[in-house]
Chains A and B, each alone.
Chain A
Amino acid sequence: EPEVTQTPSHQVTQMGQEVILRCVPISNHLYFYWYRQILGQKVEFLVSFYNNEISEKSEIFDDQFSVERPDGSNFTLKIRSTKLEDSAMYFCASIGQLYEQYFGPGTRLTVT
């Protein structure tokens, strides 16, 4: 069964450093997403991506964030200069035919 994959599973970085989180969505899906979950809180939408461009972004997704689909399979989230409050679980997702979103296993980002 096809699945969304994410790497790395855990990333530790120092405040101010750049991080790139990587995702491989399900191959025939067209919409891709990044969500964030701060520990103990709900899952929050960051950005959606369709046809090689951002279709919607949340207030959280400020100038420090960017997304890219550099080739036909990878989908990346870059945080340019990490802050302590960026520590969270980051989920990539892609949408199926019946609007259900399939989530990757997540990348746990720890900013120290």
Chain B
Amino acid sequence: AQTVTQSQPEMSVQEAETVTLSCTYDTSENNYYLFWYKQPPSRQMILVIRQEAYKQQNATENRFSVNFQKAAKSFSLKISDSQLGDTAMYFCAFVIIQGAQKLVFGQGTRLTINP
């Protein structure tokens, strides 16, 4: 079975702090991509960051970076210098690079940045 587990239903930090959101996944496939999506109150799904499973180097995108541990099937998201606009639901997901290439999502982490 292909699953994604986000063990933190909710998190809350102060503005400018660093926060790490956890994600583990399970698949028997070897070729896949991992993603973090942000869903603000508008409910739009916004791509935050992408990681190719074949790359050992962790992806970074401005204040967002990941810690990808392929053997442990772990894919955490670190947000540095958090801003009020980072308040949102964050979903971890992966796609297998064959077949229908559908996204498999976790349950999400509700992140609140406090002023």
Contact = CB atoms under 8 A, between A and B. Distances in A.
Q: Do A and B bind each other?
A: yes
Interface of A: 31, 33, 35, 37, 41-45, 48, 50, 55-56, 89, 91, 93, 95, 98-103, 105-106, 108
A73 B1 CA distance: 34
B100 A55 contact: yes
Nearest to A45: B102
B101 A31 contact: yes
The SS class assigned to the A binding surface is strand
Contacts of A31: 100-101
A99 B45 contact: no
Interface string B94-110: 01010111111111100
B16 interface: no
Given A43-B91, A99-B33, A100-B35, A35 B103 contact: yes
A84 B17 CA distance: 42
A39 B44 CA distance: 13
A55 B35 contact: no
Given A99-B95, A99-B97, A106 B44 contact: yes
B53 to A, nearest CB: 10
Contact of A48 (B43, B46, B97, B102): B102
A99 B101 contact: yes
B99 A103 contact: no
B45 A91 contact: yes
Nearest to B102: A45
A93 B42 CA distance: 17
A43 B105 contact: yes
A42 B91 contact: yes
A108 B102 CA distance: 21
A95 B37 CA distance: 14
Contact of A98 (B42, B45, B46, B50): B50
For the complex of A and B, list the 3 residue pairs with the smallest distance between their C-beta atoms, beginning with the closest. A56-B100, A103-B45, A48-B100
A8 to B, nearest CB: 14
14 contacts: A43-B105, A48-B101, A48-B102, A56-B99, A56-B100, A89-B43, A99-B33, A99-B50, A99-B101, A100-B47, A101-B35, A101-B95, A102-B47, A103-B37
